[in-house]
A = this chain, B = another copy of it.
Amino acid sequence: MSEDVRMTLDAVRTLARTVLLGSGLSQAHAEAVAETMVAGERDGCASHGIYRLLVAANSIAKGVVAVDADPVVSEPAPALVRVDGGGGFAQLAFERGRVRLEEKAHGYGIAALALTNVVHFAALWPEVEALAERGLVALAVTPSHAWVAPAGGTVPVFGTNPIAFGWPRPGDHPFVFDFATSAVARGEIELHRRAGRPVPDDWGYDADGKPTTDAAAVLNGAMRTFGGHKGSALAAMVELLAGPLIGDMTSRESLDADAARGGSPIGGELIVAIDPAGFLGDAVADHLARAETMFAAIEGQGARLPSQRRYAARARSLAEGVVIPPALYRDIMALVPGE
């Protein structure tokens, strides 16, 4: 097969579930994980689409993931929710804790949800978008594996440590951003390596601490943070908030725990949710309208809002389906049981 494969989103969902179930995941996990891959593919995020089936299957094959973990919800303080994921993928743990987080945000004005002991390999935007669609302001962070050097160093300490934020926009998709505090997402470097393309020389260092354009060397060496010492400070914040603060691993500890199996990061995630009605009472609509004025000032000068491309891709995908590169399709089909 040498041509792009066009698929409906339903077909992507079915394929994703089939591969995930075939690799041993329980039904509940397979459905939760498949949804985030469908969302990535739908929104034109190739590095978080069904490409991630290869990543998930690898983590499962390496024994990194508890395939039938049953997440356990607890409430360690009035405005805090914890979900112990039992070593399973994060998606189901988030789903199990989401409603309690929403209730607590409404009840107390602000609340936080910690996912612990979960395997993480998906983007955070589906989570903050889901919360913002329900009217909440949401901030989510998670460490990963120690792949990223602090500003001023060349030895990995941080993960790619994304920060995601969601803001409700009545009648429109939420304002959502989700970016790695590394110079780029690791998935981007992996895609460069798969394609045999060089990377810019400011993405990372080789194992000797020298800048390099060799994607594989960066993957084996250290990535850089974005934005110099500011991005590095944010990466440290992510480590602290979704590591020691919630009793879970730092990116270094997660990589050590992986013991060179090459699995996805195991650890924690912190999600903070704020109810706009907490501070605003019945004036929420008035003040959300003032946010819209700011968005208009950004778009009015030709600058883009974050997620604008993603929402545009979503509209196209819902109408026309998505296109999968042939090599990726072949790799995924090799994982389908009986193929």
A interface residues with partner B (beta carbon < 8 Å): 76-80, 82, 107-112, 114, 137, 139, 149-155, 157, 163, 165, 167, 175, 177, 179, 181, 226-234, 236-237, 239-241, 243-247, 250, 252-253, 272, 274-276, 278-281, 283, 287-288, 290-291, 293-294, 297-298, 301-306
Contact = CB atoms under 8 A, between A and B. Distances in A.
A154 B301 CA distance: 8
A273 to B, nearest CB: 10
A20 B244 CA distance: 42
Contacts of A252: 293-294, 297
B288 A244 contact: yes
Nearest to A296: B157
B152 A304 contact: yes
Contacts of A232: 303
A287 B253 CA distance: 12
A177 B228 CA distance: 13
A110 B80 CA distance: 7
A111 B111 CA distance: 8
A108 B217 CA distance: 46
A230 B301 CA distance: 18
A137 B298 contact: no
B250 A293 contact: yes
Nearest to A287: B244
Contact of A78 (B108, B279, B280, B303): B108
A167 B243 CA distance: 13
Given A157-B294, A250-B294, A114 B244 contact: no
B233 A306 contact: yes
A82 B301 contact: no
A80 B288 CA distance: 19
Contacts of A152: 302-304
Closest 4 CB pairs of A and B: A227-B227, A77-B109, A152-B303, A153-B303
A137 to B, nearest CB: 6
Contacts of A306: 229, 233, 236
B79 A240 contact: no
B233 A231 contact: no
